[in-house]
Structure 1
Amino acid sequence: MQIGILETGHAPDALRPDLGDYADLFEGLLSGHDFTFRRYDVEAQEMPASPQDCDGWLITGSRHGAYEDHPWIPPLEAFIRAVREAEVPMVGICFGHQIIAQALGGRVEKFAGGWAVGRQLYDFGGEAVALNAWHQDQVTVAPPGARAVAASAFCENAALLYSDRIWSIQPHPEFDARFIRGLIEHRGGAVPEDRLSAAEAALERPTDSARIADHMAQILKGLRA
């Protein structure tokens, strides 16, 4: 089946030659699940014509805020609502998580608690899951009908389930230790030093990215919520 990757941002220029762009990271994360991929540069206003153009949709992270005034955000929100109406599977990561929530009636804001950077622990129904994060914005009010299926002390709405076909998550299962190290070097200027130091100290600790990738694949295949 074909998955449409809606690129709402791009990796830092300095990281792309060795580590790839965001879409490359997702294709690697979901390898082995019999997917093919088609990319849409949404940030450059390249939008799919229809929710049926692909069998499932994945919305990437972005350096932009979902609440910012960019010409591509309203069409993306309209497309998200069309995907829900068409009952096509959709997954959102970080900005993707936020823009789905905003499009469906939730609220996204800069969190008063500041930044989450590097390895974080999340509660998935009583099970601890470790994933890398890189965000200050988060979903502060979930949309009507959405159910929080993961949380942390820092992020109340860490993963949201809308139906058996739409699921989103705030942290980044596609970011490995090398990518976090690169972000610290190239996009860490706005992040407090203590948070960067804590992220660096945890770089070699394991994460549960493969487990979350399997769950993403199940959602995109329409097999389970």
Structure 2
Amino acid sequence: MRLAILDADILREALQPKYHSYGRMFEALFERQQPDWEMTIFKVIDGYYPPSMDQYDAFLMTGSQYDAFSDEPWVRRLREYAQTLFQAGRPMIGICFGHQLLAHALGGEAGRAGGGWGMGVMSYSLLATPSFVDDAAPVSLIVSHRDQVTRLPPEAERLLSNDFCPNAAFYISGRVLAIQGHPEFSVDYARALFEYRKDELPPKLAAEVRQSFSLPHQGERVGRWMRRFLEQALA
């Protein structure tokens, strides 16, 4: 497996020494599962892309503090790249911003969430059990977003949902897996990121988010879904 990780953000300077980058977080997530993969990070936010899509078997788009539906030139370019990958039949995974960008690029829609910021650990119902999923138990993931997928692309099936985020994950069989939550986040990083955004929440909600960090989250479980999705797509 040759995986291109398309990193769509630059971490805050104070967080870089400890957490490095979103691309590195995904490398670490997959390395813990010990797959025999070759992973390369491309900073698409700075305009760096694989020299040729044919050099990679699959592609992963990370989270970002930017809007997946914006007209920023680098965001438009990434949406166009996603469309090209999809037309070429390349398997793709999108997380948070990547989840929203894939929806928007492939004929769905993303925008500001009516409920404002979602942060902390949230639980989701599993609405389908495709072959890459282990069982039908609810899923808990770390989240940090104020945008959401508001309309799924054609052919997409909803995978995860709750009242705050009805389209929390979707998939297009063998081609796309897109997830709003962050399986790659550690609780420590999520807490550190929350400190930058807490003033945008009402005090009561901020307290609830802090408390939620003590709940278990299933990033490793969802990481295994991602691994199986890609391996099955390329089998």
TM-score band, normalised by the shorter chain? over 0.9
| Pairing of 1:55-204 with structure 2 (within 5 A) | 55-125=57-127, 127-204=137-214
The alignment's TM-score, normalised by the length of structure 1, stands at: 0.94
Amino acid of the structure 1 residue aligned with 2:149: V
Instruction: Tell me, in whole angstroms, the C-alpha distance in 2 between the residues paired with 1:195 and 1:183.
Output: 16
Amino acid of the structure 1 residue aligned with 2:186: D
Deviation, 1:87, is 1.6
Partner of 1:45: 47
> Quick one: which of 197, 206, 212 aligns to 2:222?
212
Partner of 1:11: 11
Q: Give the structure with the larger helix fraction.
A: 2
Identity, % of aligned positions: 34
Q: Which moved more, 1:188-197 or 1:204-213?
A: 188-197
Amino acid of the structure 2 residue aligned with 1:13: E
SS at match of 1:14: helix
What RMSD in Å do the two structures reach over aligned CA positions?
1.6
The number of residue pairs the alignment matches comes to 224
Instruction: Tell me, in whole angstroms, the C-alpha distance in 2 between the residues paired with 1:163 and 1:51.
Output: 20
Q: Deviations over 1:166-218 (max 9, x none)?
A: 11100111112101110112343433333322121121221111110001011
Q: Which moved more, 1:187-196 or 1:2-11?
A: 187-196
Deviation, 1:26, is 0.7
| Structure 2 unaligned spans of 5+ | 128-135
Does the 8 Å CA contact 1:115/1:135 hold for their aligned counterparts?
yes
Amino acid of the structure 2 residue aligned with 1:105: G
Deviation, 1:223, is 4.7
Instruction: Tell me, in whole angstroms, the C-alpha distance in 2 between the residues paired with 1:56 and 1:189.
Output: 38
Does the 8 Å CA contact 2:91/2:233 hold for their aligned counterparts?
no
The alignment's TM-score, normalised by the length of structure 2, stands at: 0.90
Deviation, 1:50, is 3.4
Deviation, 1:69, is 1.9
| Structure 1 unaligned spans of 5+ | none
Amino acid of the structure 2 residue aligned with 1:107: E
